[in-house]
Amino acid sequence: MQALVTGGAQGIGYKIVESLINDGFSITIFDINPETLNKAKASFGCEVFEIDVSIESDVKEAISQLQSLDVLINNAGIWKPEPLDTLDIDIQKTVWETNVIGTLNCTKYALPLLEQSDSSCVINLTSAASRTNSPGLGMYAASKAAIETLTRQWSLELAPIRVNAVGPGMVITEGTASNYEGKALELRSNAVPLKRVGDTSDIAQVVSFLASPKSRYITGQVIFVDGGVTAGAPGHN
């Protein structure tokens, strides 16, 4: 089985790669960061491409080099916190282009390969931020809400290819560790019904499940892995 993980060289993506390799997958990684990409290649020995998923021509070229694909995991994403009154529109455009257009690009060009597989699926990464109030993260939250909508629509449009999404809550990664230093960790943990913040393995295990035959009758679903944070959010269903 062959899987492509975007943003797979660091954070949640890195743990997803590790988990899928343990499940027996062969992995290809797309990532924009050459330093972490080289480390991932050294650790896993998998095929890697230094690529910005928001650039359609680059995605098309990279995917054309793949021979087969069973699972696409659209994990690549960025966030740029800025209050509305002072935000830089160009910066916020990069959030949308990476998170939404990047997912569109990868899914569009992976589709012919996925259609050749007998058990293919797409797993998109959204965020609990799409369902909770996150001042300063308006564009990020909007981009992740868009991913949820695309997930549901594609589950119908692309069937029998299964399409689902996983929504992390607060998770400690290299990029977020500074948010959990000192008293912040205790405060944030207390805001979670399960009284802890997540780690990358919490997310990776759910992705592994959705990539496996155990989830063969699940499609069009958004699964939040957030310790219960979104359970009390307005509009959660």
CA-to-CA dists, residue 145 to 8, 66, 141, angstroms: 22, 30, 6
Quick check: pTM over 0.85?
yes
Q: Give the model's confidence band at 182: pLDDT under 50 very low, under 70 low, under 90 confident, else very high.
A: confident
Closest to 10 measured CA to CA, from 100, 105, 87, 76: 76
pLDDT value of position 74 = 98
CB 72 within 8 A of CB 27: no
pLDDT value of position 170 = 87
Highest average pLDDT, of 177-186, 188-197, 209-218, comes from 209-218
Whether residue 188 is predicted with pLDDT greater than 90 in this model: the reply is no
DSSP string, the chain: -EEEEETTTSHHHHHHHHHHHHTT-EEEEEES-HHHHHHHHHHH--EEEE--TT-HHHHHHHHHT-S--SEEEE---------GGG--HHHHHHHHIIIIIHHHHHHHHHHHHHTT-SS-EEEEE--GGGTS--TT-HHHHHHHHHHHHHHHHHHHHSTTSEEEEEEE-SEE-TTTGGGGSTHHHHHHHHTSTTSS-EEHHHHHHHHHHHHSGGGTT--S-EEEESTTGGGGSTT--
Calculate mean pLDDT across residues 175-199.
82
- Helical pair 102-114 and 56-64, crossing angle rounded to 10 deg: 20
Active site residue 217: no
Highest average pLDDT, of 50-54, 85-89, 177-181, comes from 50-54
Residue scoring higher pLDDT (113 or 193):
113
Closest to 48 measured CA to CA, from 71, 60, 65: 65
Annotated catalytic residue within 14, 109, 140, 180: 140
Q: Give the model's confidence band at 177: pLDDT under 50 very low, under 70 low, under 90 confident, else very high.
A: low
**Residues 10-65: tens digit of each pLDDT:** 999 999 999 999 999 999 999 999 999 999 999 999 999 999 999 999 999 999 99
CB 144 within 8 A of CB 126: yes
Sign of the dihedral defined by the CA atoms of residues 182, 184, 185, 190, in that order: positive
pLDDT value of position 189 = 87
Calculate mean pLDDT across residues 192-221.
96
Whether residue 140 is predicted with pLDDT greater than 80 in this model: the reply is yes
Q: What angle do CA 104, 70, 174 make, to 5 degrees?
A: 65
- Helical pair 138-157 and 102-114, crossing angle rounded to 10 deg: 20
- What is the percent of the chain with per-residue pLDDT over 70, rounded to a whole number? 97
User: Mean of the per-residue pLDDT values for the chain?
Assistant: 93
pLDDT value of position 235 = 52
pLDDT value of position 233 = 57
What's the CA gap between 191 and 200, in Å, rounded? 19
**Structural domains in the chain plus CATH codes:** 2-170+201-228 (3.40.50.720)
**Residues 155-170: tens digit of each pLDDT:** 999 999 999 999 999 8
**Residue 43 in tokens:** 């650790």
pLDDT value of position 99 = 98
